[in-house]
Amino acid sequence: MRVLAARGAAMVADMTVTFYDWQAGLQPGKPYDYLSPNLVAVRNELAVRFGGTPLGDFVVRAIRAGFTWSSHSFGSAINWRIEDAKARRAAMDWLIEHHVLLGIQVIHDYVGCRIWHANRYPGKDAQTWWRPQPKNPRNGMGQAWAKYLHIETDRSNWLNSTPVYMRGQVAPVTPPTTVLFDPAKGIWGLYPLDRNKNTIREVTSVAASDNDRALCRYLQGVLRLKASQDVKVDGDFGPSTGDAVERFQRYLGLKPDRVVGPVTWGWIDRMTRG
């Protein structure tokens, strides 16, 4: 199923991912001069399902230890670090299982010293499309420290900005029956189960209600402990919290308006589940 997409929309075509060689003569520049919206969506879903941190996305450079343009130069690749080996393997299995709807054409498993290529062996199970690689300390292949995955989108899906959990056939993350966000065994309430949270924004501490200050503490705690934002957990939605919210929104490809409404709350809540 190849997904042909413009921003925010997807259209089903056939039953395969069409591999595109990003290094085959294409020069960096428009329209591939920012990170693929499809990879933003995939990256967001990886964070929710398996955790991990980004190591790089759009950057114009040559392939490491090579001379041709890297696929990162066209916004068509991300590097995603997952420390836990079990979670990393689960992420690869999930990416392969859903590679059609995700528009994924290549996965580099550096620790495993292998590369997965969509349709490498047509007619065979997708889990068999791996090929061993020679160890290379210069690019991380086969190195124990390289606990990250290189993930490429195909060209047809490059513009697909539809969130993964809205694409169908990809089971959404099921929230636990009880959600207690507990950063240091200090329970901050059942906020993720409350789908009617107030919209909060930058205000003076005097103007904020007690409920909004409690929500702000929850927001700040998630941003600090789950999104690596340097923000004080004090319930005061001041400029530093506004800055953290804006960075978080930009990272997810949301409107960077520094306002925490239903969409931003949705992502904040999802981050407390893993």
CB atoms within 10 A of CB 110: 25
Per-residue confidence (pLDDT) for residue 2, from 0 to 100: 34
Residues 120-151 have pLDDT tens digits of 998 899 999 999 999 999 889 999 999 999 99
Q: How far apart are CA 163 and CA 8, in angstroms?
A: 8
Q: Name the CATH superfamily housing domain 191-273.
A: PGBD-like superfamily/PGBD (1.10.101.10)
Task: Indicate the burial class of 139 (C-beta count within 10 angstroms; 0-12, 13-18, 19 or more).
Answer: middle
Compute how many other C-beta atoms are within 10 angstroms of the C-beta atom of residue 213: 16
The C-alpha atoms of residue 212 and residue 241 are separated, in whole angstroms, by 14
Q: How far apart are CA 60 and CA 74, in angstroms?
A: 7
Contact 242, 231 (CB under 8 A): no
CATH 1.10.101.10 region(s) of the chain? 191-273
Predicted local distance difference test score (pLDDT) of residue 47: 82
Give pLDDT < 70 ranges for the chain: 1-15, 64-66, 173-195, 204-208, 273-274
**Contacts for 132-135 with beta carbons within 8 Å, 24 or more apart?**
none
- Say what the pLDDT of residue 194 is: 65
* Residue-wise pLDDT tens digits, 204-214: 555 667 778 88
Collapsing DSSP to helix, strand or coil, 132 comes out as: strand
Exposure b/e, 157-179, CB count within 10 A at least 16 = b: bbbbbbbbbebeeeeeeeeeeeb
8 Å CB contact between 105 and 153: yes
Fill in the DSSP letter of residue 260: B
* pLDDT value, residue 8: 35
pLDDT value of residue 32 = 94
- Burial class of residue 223 (count of CB atoms within 10 Å of its CB; 0-12, 13-18, 19+): buried
Record the pTM: 0.65
d(CA 126, CA 93): 10
